[in-house]
Amino acid sequence: MEIFFTELYKKEFQENLHMSPSHIKQVIEKPYKKHKLESDDLQIDIYLGPLVNDNFYLLVVTEEKNGKIMVFNAFKILKAFIDEEENIIDPFLILQKFVWKFGFVISIGNQLSRFIYKEEVLYPKSVERKQLVKITSIRNHAGVGGQHIKIIPQNDKILVKFFLAYYIDLNRYKAWLSSKLEEDIASIAVLLKEKLLSCRPGKEDWKKYEDICLEITEYLFRDSFRNYNAIIQPKTVDGLERRDLLVVNDIKDNISFWNLIREEFESKHIIFEFKNLVKEIGKDEVYQVDDYTNKAIGRFAVIYSRKGLSKSGKESVKRKYNDDKKVMILNCTDDDLLKMLELRRSGKDPIEVLRNKKIEFEISY
């Protein structure tokens, strides 16, 4: 059995994370557990094995072809991260759990997720491989991962079958290994605050504002859900290409704020709308957001805006809550986002801002 190592492995894993080829080979040859994934002519093997005299397991991801094994990734996993009492010892499930915690949010088509398994997307024939997956990163990303794909020509397009795609945030991962994850979380809050404050209201910075809001939403609420899955909904309004964000309401526990929203407003998804207006939000903007609410998605939405709601905007929000659908729309201004960033930075729960807004609305209603 021939085992090869990618240049990326040699640079990041061997040099920076001190995982020698001999450790990797040992785990591959005598794994504690192994999980094989097969699709078409792709075979991916995920191995789990202990490191000698250490408090870590080693998780190794390989691709096998023609009897040769190519090592793509190898991660040290703290043994405490693997809850053996719940029998979570399947290497595939451990990889998934690991990626949910330390992966970048990646975009494939209109899907936003950290861990994408078996997805098919049509692209123009001219697309480059590096454009197939886009990484949503708060800072200049230092990441490792993999695209295990098959490309099938189809007339003037190509069908790309994503068998497995993920990218690990190396900064966050290394901070976890060195017990400095909270410091890393705090530093990201500072970066996002600077980005938001430097973004100008109005059409010129509309796209920039949306990108910042995507990053802020992921940073604030990624740990509020069991898994952070999101979908971008592109649309054209006033000649501008704009985007909504739908976050799957994958509730973490039955007493959480998001479970309350799911029960009260049948919200299987949370709608986030980004409005980089110079002025306050009026009834037209509120009605635009209301158009996206329905039985399949839910009846709850959050609007980020720079100046808040105008008088007509506030009246429209109350009117939508009072109609047959009973839609709740909460608004978060720059000040609200900055407050939530500070709560997250200091280790507190930013969801309290939304909870208080809901209570304040109900009392004033």
With respect to residue 174, please indicate whether it lies within any of the assigned structural domains.
no
Residue 175 lies in a domain: no
Strand order in the sheet with 68-78: 2-5, 68-78, 56-65, 42-50, 33-39
Q: Among 75, 101, 127, which residue terminates a domain?
A: 101
pLDDT tens digits for 176-186?
888 888 888 88
Domain final position from 168, 190, 209: 168
Same domain, 213 and 334: yes
Higher pLDDT, 74 or 140: 74
145 shares a domain with 238 = no
Domain carrying residue 329: 180-364
Residue 266 scores a pLDDT above 90: yes
Q: Is 308 left (phi over 0), alpha (psi -120 to 50) or beta?
A: left
Q: 89: helix, coil or strand?
A: coil
Same domain for 268 and 319?
Answer: yes
Tokens linked to 255: 């007493």
Look up the CATH number of the domain holding residue 46.
Answer: 3.30.2310
Q: Range with the lowest mean pLDDT among 37-51, 217-231, 238-252?
A: 238-252
Burial bucket for residue 138 (CB in 10 Å: 0-12, 13-18, 19+): buried
Q: Is residue 239 part of a domain?
A: yes
Confidence of residue 39 (pLDDT cuts 50, 70, 90): confident
pLDDT band at residue 12 under the 50/70/90 scheme: low
Please tell me the predicted confidence (pLDDT) of residue 78.
83
Do 203 and 338 lie in a common domain? yes
Range of weakest confidence among 18-27, 89-98, 162-171, 257-266: 18-27
Nearest C-alpha neighbor of 145 from the set 81, 59, 227:
59
282 and 196 in a common domain? yes
Q: How many domains does the chain have?
A: 3
Same domain, 302 and 201: yes
Task: Specify whether 226 is located in the same domain as 349.
Answer: yes
Express each pLDDT in 280-330 by its tens digit. 999 999 988 888 888 889 999 999 999 999 999 999 999 999 888 899 999
Residue 220 scores a pLDDT above 70: yes
Domain boundary among 101, 127, 159: 101
**Per-residue pLDDT at 263:** 94
Q: Give the per-residue pLDDT at 137.
A: 67
Per-residue confidence band for 67, with pLDDT thresholds at 50, 70 and 90: confident
- Say if residue 245 is in the same domain as residue 307: yes
Whether 99 shows a pLDDT value over 60: the answer reads yes
pLDDT of 360 > 90? The answer is: yes
Q: Is residue 109 part of a domain?
A: no
**For residue 218, is pLDDT > 60?**
yes
Q: For residue 173, tell me if it sits in a domain.
A: no
Residues 10 and 83 in one domain: yes
pLDDT at 252: 77
In a domain, 106, yes or no: no
Residues 151 and 189 in one domain: no
Report H helices in the chain: 7-8, 21-29, 91-102, 170-177, 181-198, 206-221, 257-265, 283-290, 311-322, 334-345, 351-364
128 and 93 within one domain:
no
Answer whether residue 110 shows pLDDT above 90: no
Q: Is 87 left (phi over 0), alpha (psi -120 to 50) or beta?
A: left
- pLDDT tens track for 156-175: 889 988 888 888 888 888 88
The DSSP string of 185-252 is HHHHHHHHHHHHHHSPSSGGGHHHHHHHHHHHHHHHHTTTBSS--EEEEEEEETTEEEEEEEEE--BS
Is the Cβ–Cβ distance between 312 and 275 less than 8 Å? no
- Domain match, 185 and 44 both: no
Least confident of 67-71, 134-138, 281-285, 345-349: 134-138
